[in-house]
Amino acid sequence: DTGVSQDPRHKITKRGQNVTFRCDPISEHNRLYWYRQTLGQGPEFLTYFQNEAQLEKSRLLSDRFSAERPKGSFSTLEIQRTEQGDSAMYLCASSGPTGDLFGYTFGSGTRLTVV
Amino acid sequence: QKEVEQNSGPLSVPEGAIASLNCTYSDRGSQSFFWYRQYSGKSPELIMFIYSNGDKEDGRFTAQLNKASQYVSLLIRDSQPSDSATYLCARERGEGGGNKLTFGTGTQLKVEL
């Protein structure tokens, strides 16, 4: 396990459809984060998990967004009734216990295009 | 006022020169600061982090932190064309919100031959 894996790498969907992204963190990392990045902007925090518990959600995470991390392993991010404004790169990151900041590793991201 | 501010650039420097990238932040509760490099279409890659006032050096990179002035910088010595990328500054507050990072918008660096 050499890094954080995200699937799919690219997703094109029609407005109104639901999409789901998957993130597999580095196996020994107990914290998992989702960020969203639009063109010309830095990544924006969406939510994070410690093990299976979702401990914080950004106000950016509207009711159409839901994230899960069953059993504290992989995580999924679902967007329901997609809108064109949801088009962005969705980044997942993982880290070890508090203080292990150097282990904050991003996956390759899922680029979502809503048409 | 944005929590983390960066000049979007582009910052152009000749090959071999020193590139200086700057970042300011508004929250005095910020504890740790990070510099990420991001190539176009790729995910961010951590270069350095710093949490103490002063300088921290790693190879060609030096991070500088001045908490009194709420200022962080990244110096890249002997800039190479491969350094051309967007550099993201981020801060971590260090409270109970995990290692959540707040990013700036990034500065685009172009190293010219």
Q: Which of B31, B42, B99 to mutate to test the interface with A (most CBs of A within 10 A)?
A: B99
pLDDT by residue (tens digit) across A9-48?
A: 999 999 999 999 999 998 888 899 999 999 999 999 999 9
Check if A25 contacts B (Cβ < 8 Å). Answer: no
Q: Which residues of A touch B42 (CB under 8 A)?
A: 108-109
Residue B1 has a pLDDT of 74
CB contact under 8 A, A40 and B46: no
In this predicted structure, the answer to whether residue A104 has a pLDDT above a threshold of 90 is: no
Q: How far is B18 from chain A (nearest CA, A)?
A: 24
CB contact under 8 A, A55 and B49: no
Interface subset of B 20-79, CB within 8 angstroms of A: 32, 34, 42-46, 49
Residue A56's Cβ-side half-sphere holds a number of Cα atoms within 13 Å equal to 16
Check if A107 contacts B (Cβ < 8 Å). Answer: yes
Answer for the pair A48, A55: CB distance below 8 angstroms, yes or no: yes
User: Residue type for B8, please?
Assistant: S
Check if A57 contacts B (Cβ < 8 Å). Answer: no
Largest CA distance in chain A: 41
CB contact under 8 A, A98 and B99: yes
Q: Which of A32, A33, A36, A101 to mutate to test the interface with B (most CBs of B within 10 A)?
A: A101
- Name the residue with tokens 């996956």: A107
**DSSP assignments along B20-79, one per residue:** EEEEEES-TT--EEEEEEE-TTS--EEEEEE-SSEEEEETTEEEEEETTTTEEEEEESS-
Angstrom distance (rounded) from CA A9 to CA A58: 23
Residue A40 has a pLDDT of 92
Q: Which residues of A touch B103 (CB under 8 A)?
A: 42-44
According to DSSP, residue B18 is labeled: P
Interface subset of B 90-109, CB within 8 angstroms of A: 90, 92, 97-106
Angstrom distance (rounded) from CA B36 to CA B79: 16
Residue A20 has a pLDDT of 98
Residue A105 has a pLDDT of 83
| Chain A residue at shortest CA distance from B33 | A101
Alpha-carbon distances of B100 from A43, A95, B3, B57, B93, rounded to whole Å: 11, 10, 13, 24, 8
A32-46, A90-104, B57-71: the lowest-pLDDT one:
A90-104
Q: What is the mean pLDDT of residues A73-101?
A: 89
pLDDT by residue (tens digit) across A53-80?
A: 999 899 888 899 999 999 889 999 999 9
Q: What is the mean pLDDT of residues A76-92?
A: 97
The residues, ordered by sequence, that sit 6+ positions from B109 with a Cβ below 8 Å of its Cβ are B9, B10, B11, B13, B19, B21, B76, B79, B83, B84, B85, B86, B87
Q: What is the mean pLDDT of residues B32-44?
A: 94
